[in-house]
A = this chain, B = another copy of it.
């Protein structure tokens, strides 16, 4: 494998010294970029982009070509590839978000679910990872990812997005054994899926627990965090002679940082409701932190974006252990020049915190 030319991102995740704070953006290969929209038009639709390794590679590299400040690439894919590989029939309706043809309702539905083989059933993702890794040619590290078991379960039980997760929570409270079996199958699936990505070339992995924050404190521990802990303990943590850091991101999980830090993960993702300085005081000796600018700040003037970047850097303070990011994915309406101003500000303003 080609030597890594920029390893700031991996070093910061392990709290090793860096020259400037590394930065990337969740959903950085996305609709705010005209070149992404052109690729997507060419591919036909979103899932065709994901399922074709050449297209997935093309859009993964687009933000890196536009923004030399980006310190990591992230696999272009969807969080719902695993339920799709379980036979649920993922599809997208315009303006409606993801949907599944089959819905999981009963213990029998769950017992019948297979655990996908990453190479056989999700080979297109493994191919995308190895293609991107080859094309990156050591520029920056490649992040692999998956949805968390709880987050995947909500889509499988609701049949799509949801406002209040009524069906999933009714299963949680009325039929917890069924939900536990589903989550256990998902945890096994996510573990082998992420290990497949690591073997194919992913140099760090992130688990997106997008809807963990919808749970009560007690239910979060039992139905989301426990399964992420299980995954973390089953992951390949060293590959190609280097540590493979694991990042857990529960959106809305700011109250539970101490217990998320106890899972054995290397880093926690933070949304923008957490003050990153307080978060560091609470868990900073155990884990690195990733985040956490409100993505809507990117709608503001570049000088305001710069002020917000400075505020977050100052709040984190001196030393390594911070990967700058947004607190959630970048939105389609953002002006790409504002994203550029954000990325430049992180590198320019952070050097003083690493002197």
Partner of A215, one of B219, B273, B293, B301: B273
Residues of B within 8 A of A327 (CB): 216
CB distance from A333 to the nearest CB of B (A): 7
Residues of B within 8 A of A217 (CB): 272-275, 278
CB distance from A33 to the nearest CB of B (A): 19
Interface residue? A107 (CB, 8 A): no
Segment among A123-131, A166-174, A345-353 that sits at the interface with chain B:
A166-174
* In contact, B300 and A174 (Cβ under 8 angstroms): yes
Q: Which residues of A contact B (CB under 8 A)?
A: 164-166, 169-170, 173-174, 213, 215-220, 252, 254-255, 272-275, 278, 293-297, 299-301, 304, 308, 311, 327, 331, 333
Q: How far is A297 from B213 in the complex, measured between Cα atoms in Å?
A: 16
Partner of A173, one of B213, B254, B272, B304: B304
Q: How far is A294 from B170 in the complex, measured between Cα atoms in Å?
A: 11
* In contact, B252 and A299 (Cβ under 8 angstroms): no
18 more CB-based (< 8 A) A-B contacts, given A252-B273, A254-B255: A164-B331, A166-B331, A166-B333, A169-B294, A170-B296, A170-B299, A170-B300, A173-B300, A173-B308, A215-B272, A216-B293, A217-B273, A217-B275, A218-B275, A252-B252, A255-B255, A255-B274, A255-B275
Residues of B within 8 A of A255 (CB): 254-255, 273-275, 278
Residues of B within 8 A of A164 (CB): 295-296, 331
Identify the closest chain B residue to A219 (Cβ). Answer: B294
CB distance from A294 to the nearest CB of B (A): 5
Identify the closest chain B residue to A297 (Cβ). Answer: B173
Residues of B within 8 A of A296 (CB): 164-166, 169-170, 173
Residues of B within 8 A of A299 (CB): 166, 169-170, 173-174
Partner of A273, one of B169, B213, B304, B308: B213
Residues of B within 8 A of A301 (CB): 173-174
CB distance from A342 to the nearest CB of B (A): 12
Q: How far is A256 from B345 in the complex, measured between Cα atoms in Å?
A: 28
CB distance from A291 to the nearest CB of B (A): 11
Identify the closest chain B residue to A300 (Cβ). Answer: B173
- In this complex, the member of A273, A274, A311, A331 whose beta carbon has the largest number of chain B beta carbons within 10 angstroms is A273
Q: How far is A254 from B220 in the complex, measured between Cα atoms in Å?
A: 15
* In contact, B173 and A216 (Cβ under 8 angstroms): no
Q: How far is A60 from B114 in the complex, measured between Cα atoms in Å?
A: 51
6 A-B pairs with least C-beta separation: A173-B300, A217-B275, A169-B296, A216-B272, A170-B299, A173-B304
Residues of B within 8 A of A304 (CB): 173-174
Q: How far is A219 from B327 in the complex, measured between Cα atoms in Å?
A: 14
Q: How far is A168 from B254 in the complex, measured between Cα atoms in Å?
A: 23
Q: How far is A275 from B216 in the complex, measured between Cα atoms in Å?
A: 8
Known: A173-B299, A173-B300, A296-B164. A311 touches B218 (CB 8 A): yes
Residues of B within 8 A of A252 (CB): 252, 273
**25 intermolecular pairs with C-beta atoms under 8 Å apart:** A164-B296, A169-B294, A169-B296, A169-B297, A170-B299, A170-B300, A173-B296, A173-B297, A174-B299, A174-B301, A216-B272, A216-B273, A216-B294, A217-B272, A217-B274, A217-B275, A217-B278, A218-B311, A219-B294, A220-B273, A252-B273, A254-B254, A254-B255, A255-B273, A255-B274
